[in-house]
Structure 1
Amino acid sequence: MSDPPVALIANRIHKRFLVKETGKSTQAVADVSLAVQMGSLTALVGPDGAGKTTLLRMIAGLMTADEGRLEVLGIDVAADPQAVQDRISYMPQRFGLYEDLSVQENLDLYADLHGVPQAIRRKRYARLLEMTDLARFTARPAGKLSGGMKQKLGLACTLVRSPELLLLDEPTVGVDPLSRRELWEIVQQMIDDEQLTVLVTTAYLDEAEHCARVFVLQEGKLLAEGTPEEIRQHARNLCFVVTPPQGQPSRILQARLLDDADCIIDAVPYGGAVRFIRRAEADRQRLDSLLGGIPATAVEARVEDGFMVLLRERHDVAPLDTAALKAASGTENGVIGEENAKSGEDDAKGEPDEVVIEVRDLVRKFGDFTAVDHVSFSVRRGEIFGLLGPNGAGKTTTFRMLCGLLPATSGFLQVAGFNLLRARAVARRRIGYMSQKFALYGDLSVMENLAFFGSAYGLYGKRLRERIDTVMQQFDLEGREKSPSGQLPGGFKQRLAMAVGLLHEPDILFLDEPTSGTDPLKRREFWRRITALSEVGTTIIITTHFMEEAEYCDRIVIQDAGRLLALGTPEEVRRQAGGEGARLDMEEAFIRIVEQERQKNSESPAREANP
């Protein structure tokens, strides 16, 4: 029996980059060999900086390997990159849509660039517009589409011609669960109908479950490869679910488990419980003590579980120094002292019923369009409060009004005791902010960014030096003082952005999709820090498209078309979605609630959401 045909073969590929600051080279891809079968869906997964994008760009003929041989569709890429590019399509993480051009004009432009004959454009456009549900918006400027719709348009532009190989670099980053599902339906339809070969990098390990083969990269090297089932086998018989005591947030038990690296490989909130991977050699008595005697139920391993086991075998992470984090987070000038951090959750939060954010009948209009439509909720001190919704739902607009970055059209909005309709500037001094995109000065060093933003927050002299020293230690940035912030690895950029947001010890920290595009290892580390901050009374407001992260929140809001659809604890939201009895994950609950509401409104005159 002959071997199935292959779309690409990489044989011992190496790629190095010169670091200007040090004059030394860094290895981005090291001795990687792999093969991708024709007509298959294949995933490249790995931590940030693993070399996934570099490998994809070499396959696309945009970079040349330093060593090794790379063949795509039978062509030596190094010898004839243009011949490869004529037969493939590549959608990078930041696809180049022309925001001033309409949806149709973007399609026409890419069809022109790829030389798609006029005779086949009409049929191709009709199919792509139907699959992406963009037919209603062909005249709309791309810049006025939501994030999810931009991604679908980017995919449509990538597919204006029929490629033999499609390369997708994290196509669903920053996309809500509904749009993510729709994107994958489009890709799967192209695979089924046109026998398209697809190679995708992804930060969502559940997406790798649907692939024929998965390649795991770490530090530029191929760590493992196999079918999803073969990757899952690395965590076989090690995965369990445990339900915390009534009334205790699952993140508290999850944090306790993560802090014992001798027993636990991974732990994550899951449907009101905690899903964890124990070490094979873990002491059973110690594990039982760690769980507080609560029985754990064995569950089947997932691709993400196998991935985490593989990474921990190669790169164990030391437990976070939460005591230092808590001591450095608002205890000197703030409301809560170090002694309270040790006296239990309720005490650590100060007055648990103290309202620090109050929103009543909040409205924001852009011309005739209502982006936020009479939304009301409140947030208590020390809460982790999640703002969720599909792309274009109004949550980002709500978030920006809460931060004082955007004035409300009407309604009542009070943050940290200040009415934002009258005192936005004063209130902003009491809050910290971390944007989705890295918003610090890339040409300035770590230390220069901290000094600049510290002075902007009103910190000077000895006090500024003390706070910089504290956050440098708190976020493990020591040794990076002189590094240009724009050249930091993704995880360090995230740490620096949070360090800047906490320099002035704010009462409230706003986080706008802070883990977008980051791998599971970085997300666990990030949320361990957030949990520690909440325990000493810092109030956290967060937007996210990772629905598993909603499980860390005390309460969440789900918005769509500017209106509030759900408000409550994760458990209450799951019940609203019909999750009684069976354990329902938050992604499914989110999709159900949004689809149920849209179904209710389908017979009434449509109110178009901000796309």
Structure 2
Amino acid sequence: MAPAAPPIVVVDAVTKRFGKGPQATIALDHVSAEIRPGQITGLVGPDGAGKTTLLRLIAGLLKPNEGKITVLGQDSVTAVTTVQHDIGYMPQRFGLYEDLTVAENLDLYADMHELDGTVRQERFASLLAFTALTPFVERLAGKLSGGMKQKLGLACALLSRPKLLLLDEPSAGVDPASRRELWRIVRTMAGEGVAVIWSTAYLDEAERCDSFLLFANGRLLASGSPTDFSRRVDGRTFLITVPPGHKHRVQRRAAADPAIADAIIQGERIRIVLNDGATLPDAAVLGGTGLPQPVRPRFEDAFVSLLHGRTAPRSSPAVPEESTSTAVTDGAAIEAHDLTRDFGAFRAVDNVTFTVAPGEVFGLLGPNGAGKSTTFRMLCGLLEPSAGSARVAGVDLGTARAAARERIGYMSQRFSLYGELSVRDNLDFFSGVYGLSSTRRRQRIDWALESFELGPVARQTSGSLPLGFKQRLALSCALLHEPRVLFLDEPTSGVDPLMRREFWARIGALAEQRVTVLVTSHFMDEAEYCDRLAIVYGGRMIAMGSPDDLKRRFVSDTLPDPTLEDAFVALIETQGTKAAP
């Protein structure tokens, strides 16, 4: 057996602090690890775990306070220029120039790497073909879809033919089809001997890596093979079938059971992970039907189980009962009829029709640039349709848009509150925007601070909050006026899995109070929480049904138990085949 290749990166007892004295924040705490060539190593952990800090230290962009990092045999501090020559780095935020074209961005990076004309053109041609960006060389980077932006960022990072590729959440906000394409590209690079470090908030991606490093609060909790890690919960993972319409209630009941480490919705079933040594509760006690079915453990099961054991268990967050005036009792809560939107000669949305029932959680999914965000904005009253009509909460958006907005709660993809204002000031401002009286305003602000556990940070500026608290604040502001319909535009983008569970527990409680929810998402695991899904591609609706309905369409001998991601990608690929000449 050939000896293992020597590590390309050695992290030796590294500590990194930000700030000084007792108020300093410890981002990494005596971390040691090795990265080997030809492998994809996943950096996994909740928000603020230290993943980005480690990548920046390896890239020589930060200096450790203690310990040492060796990259390709060189010290990352004393030989930083030499080290950076062999590193390709793709930061978390889109680091290219949006007002330059694809070709101009590549030229700029080639200048930075001092590539001569011949080498430059050879690598341009190779990378453009590799990333399928050749037809878009004259398009402004800012006009690319999310997946295409990520592929351009990857192409720029690969221009120098690096031996080490650092990717900080490269697939955040990217649809599943584009994510698979990114993985294909990166897996090819690893096959050519490049060492890849891939930071991710998607736990299914961690399962695809060759090895992983799991962080929490700056400490390395676990490392090794994802398959070996998943075996930690062998015999502790089950699926429970639930009666129609009861999945949110059963999920919250299971999550609160002391025997259960994790409970998530998968279509019309609940996936549970038992605590180590716990006895499986009776399905009927939880509200399920039939016998629990054992299932193969996943990386995510072991991840949540491990973190659950290191933190105090929390009951599912409660959302107090809303007044009966918030519930839509008759007719459809959302109606779209032949909804169309043109931008000049480009048709972004083409005759989209669907209805959403009161209390339904309805998911609008599609690849980047498919038209789902445009559809979403028209239904919120933020964009006027070119043709067709829409009604929300019983109000025609074409004739009474202002009245409709009074019945709508909206949480945007990007944190849209005022970062300079405190948490309480933001709540006060938005309650005023919604026209709440002084007495009602105080009641609703107190409700938000208590229900979303924002009291301890009420005086902090919202811009200084961790991402999970920002999400809580944004949702509480959207609910201050007790809307009948709640619009959520990729609400958990960039949020770690534990925070996503808390968020969806709140959404499930709202749905049981007959609040209607329309959500867009690229996370297929949270799309499972929806009652129905609509898949949009090329501005048209190509499929609709429950998550289980969509998965059943693609059951085959080779794929007996397709995931929702499998179904999504297959639907998109089928449309691409139809469109091909």
Q: TM-score, normalised by structure 2?
A: 0.96
SS of the equivalent of 1:479 reads: helix
Asked if the contact 2:50/2:215 (under 8 Å) is kept, the reply is: yes
Shift of 1:3: 5.2
- CA root-mean-square deviation: 1.9
CA distance in 2, matches of 1:446, 1:414: 33
CA distance in 2, matches of 1:252, 1:575: 24
- Structure 1 residues 144 and 294, CA gap change in structure 2 (3 angstroms): same
Asked if the contact 2:434/2:481 (under 8 Å) is kept, the reply is: yes
Matched with 1:139 is 138
Shift of 1:292: 4.4
Asked if the contact 2:274/2:280 (under 8 Å) is kept, the reply is: no
Matched with 1:415 is 392
**Structure 1, unaligned stretches of length 5 or more?**
336-349, 604-611
Matched with 1:208 is 206
SS of the equivalent of 2:89 reads: strand
The answer to whether structure 1 residue 269 and structure 2 residue 246 are counterparts is no
| TM alignment of 1:157-196, pairs within 5 A | 157-193=156-192, 195-196=193-194
The answer to whether structure 1 residue 219 and structure 2 residue 217 are counterparts is yes
The answer to whether structure 1 residue 585 and structure 2 residue 563 are counterparts is yes
CA distance in 1, matches of 2:280, 2:177: 41
Shift of 1:242: 2.0
One-letter code aligned to 2:353: S
- Structure 1 residues 284 and 152, CA gap change in structure 2 (3 angstroms): closer
Farther off after superposition, 561-570 or 385-394: 561-570
Correspondence for 1:331 among 300, 323, 329: 323
Correspondence for 1:431 among 396, 399, 408: 408
Matched with 2:254 is 257
Matched with 1:17 is 18
SS of the equivalent of 1:121 reads: helix
CA distance in 1, matches of 2:365, 2:191: 33
One-letter code aligned to 2:578: K
Shift of 1:577: 4.2
* CA-to-aligned-CA distance 1:563-608 (integer Å, 9 cap, x gap): 01012222332334457994332111111111112212223xxxxx
SS of the equivalent of 1:552 reads: coil
Shift of 1:285: 5.2
Matched with 1:506 is 483
Matched with 1:400 is 377
The answer to whether structure 1 residue 33 and structure 2 residue 32 are counterparts is yes
- Structure 1 residues 6 and 321, CA gap change in structure 2 (3 angstroms): closer
CA distance in 2, matches of 1:585, 1:76: 44
Count of equivalent residues: 579
SS of the equivalent of 1:184 reads: helix
SS of the equivalent of 1:422 reads: coil
Shift of 1:117: 2.3
Matched with 1:345 is none
- Structure 1 residues 293 and 420, CA gap change in structure 2 (3 angstroms): closer
CA distance in 2, matches of 1:161, 1:253: 53
CA distance in 1, matches of 2:224, 2:48: 21
Shift of 1:321: 4.0
Shift of 1:378: 0.8
CA distance in 2, matches of 1:248, 1:73: 56
CA distance in 2, matches of 1:292, 1:233: 26
| TM alignment of 1:238-387, pairs within 5 A | 238-245=236-243, 247-248=244-245, 250-260=247-257, 262-284=258-280, 289-290=285-286, 292=288, 294-322=290-318, 325-327=319-321, 330-331=322-323, 333-335=325-327, 351=329, 354-387=331-364
CA distance in 2, matches of 1:332, 1:16: 51
Matched with 2:122 is 123
One-letter code aligned to 1:232: S
One-letter code aligned to 1:38: P
CA distance in 2, matches of 1:379, 1:586: 21
CA distance in 2, matches of 1:286, 1:571: 24
Matched with 1:545 is 522
Farther off after superposition, 70-79 or 535-544: 70-79
Matched with 2:423 is 446
Shift of 1:433: 0.8
One-letter code aligned to 2:15: H
CA distance in 2, matches of 1:271, 1:321: 21
CA distance in 1, matches of 2:374, 2:427: 28
Asked if the contact 2:283/2:290 (under 8 Å) is kept, the reply is: no
Farther off after superposition, 478-487 or 206-215: 206-215
- Structure 1 residues 579 and 507, CA gap change in structure 2 (3 angstroms): farther
CA distance in 1, matches of 2:311, 2:220: 14
* CA-to-aligned-CA distance 1:5-36 (integer Å, 9 cap, x gap): 111111111112239xx982221111111111
Shift of 1:291: 5.4
SS of the equivalent of 2:350 reads: strand
| TM alignment of 1:421-500, pairs within 5 A | 421-500=398-477
* CA-to-aligned-CA distance 1:462-496 (integer Å, 9 cap, x gap): 21111111011111111101111111111111101
One-letter code aligned to 1:114: H
One-letter code aligned to 1:14: T
| TM alignment of 1:504-583, pairs within 5 A | 504-578=481-555, 582-583=560-561
One-letter code aligned to 2:256: D
CA distance in 1, matches of 2:218, 2:389: 52
Asked if the contact 1:381/1:539 (under 8 Å) is kept, the reply is: yes
- Structure 1 residues 563 and 293, CA gap change in structure 2 (3 angstroms): closer
Shift of 1:437: 1.0
Asked if the contact 1:234/1:310 (under 8 Å) is kept, the reply is: no
The answer to whether structure 1 residue 70 and structure 2 residue 69 are counterparts is yes
Matched with 1:607 is none
SS of the equivalent of 2:340 reads: strand
CA distance in 2, matches of 1:481, 1:18: 23
| % same residue | 49
Matched with 1:87 is 86
CA distance in 1, matches of 2:397, 2:284: 49
One-letter code aligned to 1:326: P
CA distance in 2, matches of 1:199, 1:315: 27
Shift of 1:319: 0.6
**Structure 2, unaligned stretches of length 5 or more?**
none
One-letter code aligned to 1:587: E
Shift of 1:249: 5.1
